[in-house]
Amino acid sequence: MREKSGQKNVWELRIYLGRDEHDRIKHKSVTFRGGKRTAEKELTRLAATYEGTFVSTPEISVRWGETTTINDALEAWSRNGWQDLSPTTVRHYRELWDGHIRKGIGRRAIASLNPYEIERYFRRLKDAGVGLTTVRHIRALLNRACRLARKWSANTLPNPVVDTELPVWPLAERGTSVRSPELAEVQAILTAAAKFDERFGAFVRLVAATGMRRGEACALRWTDIDWEAGTVVVDESIVAAAGGAEVKSPKTRASIRRLALDAGTLAVLRSLQTGQEEFAEACEARVAADGFVFSYEPGGAQPPHPDTMSHMFTKVRKQARVASDVHLHSLRHFQATVIDRIVPERQKQARLGWSTVHMARHYTDVVAGEDLRAAEHVGRLLEGGEESMAGEPHVGQRSEAS
């Protein structure tokens, strides 16, 4: 049970339902309005109501010894560790396991493998056309599984992956990295998105104006917007999970932040709110106070799926005749690039929710004025203004996005 950010006596109640037949964790989340004691009683009632809805999968005992395979280690880790990972990470791990490991090297006993054989396996993947990033992720997955197997076997099993090296991919085979799009490209995409759909147009505008991650924008609620202060709170994210989308807390504290919005973006969101209310009224519904801003359902009860927004972006990008190497995530790179000369690096990191810059999140409130400068600068660019130097770059600033 947790109280919604900035909302007195509004609670999110979450019930753990267990695991389904595919070993996926299931939760039931509801929004409750009332005092803390009443919310606690409602949580107890929900727990009793949903008790036994899903049956947990039986525990499988692993015998750690010479016959323990990599698949055994991955299975044990998935049952004792993957619960702490995000649904997106778990889905990625399962794709790697099912697509490259399970029917091949996964069947091998860990004790029978050595670094040479592991490196030969990596090279076979490369020769089969698997990219550098995928092979690097596979190595990390195998290394963690074997390291845990060594620990759980009381150090009787080796970790044959720890000292291995990856093959070398020529620069031409490594693929292209995400680039920051040009201002003209972003403006063309904004125009095409607004014509395509008002809701999606507002979504793209917000992402370009703030540098939000797509999951953060999908999770935006009307209660997160402070119209008078011209700010928006980022404290949730939508991730793709098995069977649909799931609301989750940010991965790090740095991801929880309050961002300034330019007047143009606020106007776009206000117009969308009016449109959403008219849409809900036509469907004999009401927009919930904590409804999702970009929901495609009357009332805003369900958030949009991140993958859906990415697919829509691809359609809009084609309509705008923008290069195919520009993706939805490229707008985050655009934000990082254009504010590089406007605000200090610590504020740039805080605005984008990075946790890799030392003490960045501790300066968020102190440099609110600088955050507003960043918002207004990007807003002017998106409205068709010219980019200009606002002073010399700050010492230590970079234009690199991540």
Q: What is the pLDDT of residues 218-236, one digit of tens each?
A: 999 999 999 999 999 999 9
C-alpha neighbours within 13 Å on the C-beta side of residue 187:
13
**Is pLDDT of 400 > 60?**
no
Number of domains in the chain: 3
- End of a domain among 126, 143, 173? 173
Res. 8 pLDDT band, cuts 50 70 90: confident
- End of a domain among 124, 142, 173? 173
Residues 46 and 81 in one domain: no
Q: What is the pLDDT of residues 328-353, one digit of tens each?
A: 999 998 998 888 878 887 778 888 88
Task: Please give the Cα distance from 181 to 290 (Å, whole number).
Answer: 33
Res. 367 pLDDT band, cuts 50 70 90: very low
Residues 209 and 306 in one domain: yes
Query: Is residue 55 domain-resident?
Result: no
Q: Tell me, what CATH number does 99's domain have?
A: 1.10.150.130
Helix or strand (DSSP H, E) at 31: strand 25-33
Max Cα–Cα distance, the chain, nearest Å: 67
C-alpha neighbours within 13 Å on the C-beta side of residue 240:
11
Query: Is residue 369 domain-resident?
Result: no
Residues 283 and 319 in one domain: yes
**Is pLDDT of 296 > 60?**
yes
Task: Please give the Cα distance from 42 to 395 (Å, whole number).
Answer: 54
- End of a domain among 115, 140, 173? 173
Expressed as residue numbers, the domain containing 137 is 70-173
Query: Is residue 354 domain-resident?
Result: no
The pTM assigned to this predicted structure is: 0.63
Q: What is the pLDDT of residues 166-200, one digit of tens each?
A: 999 887 666 656 678 899 999 999 999 999 999 99
Query: Is residue 399 domain-resident?
Result: no
DSSP 110: G
Query: Is residue 60 domain-resident?
Result: no
Query: Is residue 223 domain-resident?
Result: yes
